[in-house]
Amino acid sequence: MFFTSPWMLLSLFLHLPSLDADAARAGGEHRDATEPIRLPGCVPIHAHDLPSSMLADRSSATYAGLLAMARDAARADGVLVNTFRELEPAIGDGADGLKLPPVHAVGPLIWTRPVAMDRDHECLSWLNQQPRGSVVYVSFGSGGTLTWQQTAELALGLELSQHRFIWAIKGPDQDTSSGAFFGTANSRGEEEGMDFLPEGFIERTRGVGLLVPSWAPQTSILGHASIGCFLTHCGWNSTLESVSNGVPMIAWPLYAEQKMNAAMMEVQAKVAIRINVGNERFIMNEEIANTIKRVMKGEEAEMLKMRIGELKDKAVYALSKGCSILAQVTHVWKSTLQPSPKY
């Protein structure tokens, strides 16, 4: 099995049957738990940071599907995980007696394109003109959306921070934070314009900020020397891309396991600062601006930069190790699998 998310989520899956039995005994739902879930070597997971499929009623079909998937995962002959040990030191740790299939870290696998392919993109020539480490890159990934009120507030926060920014901007969605994930009709495309932004925002931030509608060449942006931090939803791809490029993060998680990733990055890896979205509350522009300032400048910013610089170097080394593990696995497959009989 190839697991594209972090070990912490896989560990949660593998523990789910026993967590479920505990919940059944207590006669409760996971969302009502007052104590965080403590998996070996991972940051404690508070109920409000759990993926929504785990917060669903235990009697629901969504939850039953999750539980079935968790039981299947435990039966795999082995699991390759897109992570690395220096980022998740507890990978494969069944310290609490849980029987695990063999687990191997093969990451950080990220999709990089030849830089030449993106060189002519408007945002990269714009980045070339900005001072080193001066730009905040803002993106909620391919699926993430905000309400229009929150999108407008984010715009005001960026403006108030007085830092340069590139914003891979999506149309708002009032109903869900993953409005673009399945390309729902609610999330509006660029053709409908940017009328959800505050009045005068585009004029006031001209030259300081660059809006890139819907898609941006992310790995090239994160690899550019002008980038100072990444305001991200903490999807695992984005997280690994930020780490691999040594860019400190502002974590603004939205859905799936993103809140767990954000906690891991802030508390364990110490390469991010979280915007508090625990209670799905509205985030004010002052808070957005202050968090940007903390990550861009000052003592805290220096610490983050140092930590993620170290992690970046380890990521490069880990990837070469991951490749040799993959090679070993392929070797085992080749030597154990019988060639299909010819009829």
Ligand X SMILES: *[C@@H]1O[C@H](CO)[C@@H](O)[C@H](O)[C@H]1NC(C)=O
Residues touching ligand X: how many (CB under 6 A)?
A: 4
Q: Please say which residue, 139 or 151, places its beta carbon nearer to ligand X.
A: 139
Nearer to ligand X, 141 or 228 (CB): 141
Check binding of 242 to ligand X (CB under 6 A).
no
Q: Would you call 59 helix, strand, or coil by DSSP?
A: coil
* Alpha carbons 214 and 169: distance in angstroms, whole number: 5
83 near ligand X (CB under 6 A): no
167 or 236: CB nearest ligand X: 236
Residue 342 corresponds to which tokens in the numbers above?
A: 């010819």
Shortest distance in whole angstroms from residue 139 CB to ligand X = 11
The one among 25, 35, 75, 111 contacting ligand X by CB under 6 A? 111
Structure tokens at 138: 């803002």
Q: Are strands 79-81 and 2-3 parallel, antiparallel or unpaired?
A: parallel
The yes or no reply on residue 142 touching ligand X (CB under 6 A) is yes
Q: Do 261 and 6 form a contact (C-beta atoms < 8 A)? A: yes
Task: Assess contact for 136 and 296: CB atoms under 8 A.
Answer: yes
Min dist. Cβ of residue 151 to ligand X (A): 20
Least distance to ligand X, CB of residue 142, Å: 5
Please report where in the chains the tokens 């069944």 appear, as a residue. Answer: 94
Residue written as token pair 């007085």: 162
CB-wise, 111 or 333, nearer to ligand X? Answer: 111
Q: Is the peptide bond before 339 cis (omega within 30 degrees of 0)?
A: no
Q: Which amino acid is at 258?
A: Q
Q: Rounded to whole angstroms, how far apart are CA atoms 36 and 46? A: 4
Given the complex with ligand X, which of 223 and 235 has the nearer CB atom?
A: 235
**Do 10 and 103 form a contact (C-beta atoms < 8 A)?**
yes
Q: Rank residues 235 and 246 by Cβ distance to ligand X and give the closer one.
A: 235
Closest CB to ligand X: residue number: 111
| Minimum CB–partner distance for residue 158 and ligand X (Å) | 24
Q: How far is the CB of 95 from ligand X (least distance, A)?
A: 30
The contacts of residue 320 (CB under 8 Å, 6+ apart) are: none
Query: Mask: binding to ligand X, 220-239, rule CB under 6 A, as x and -?
Result: ---------------x-x--
Binding site for ligand X (CB under 6 A): 111, 142, 235, 237
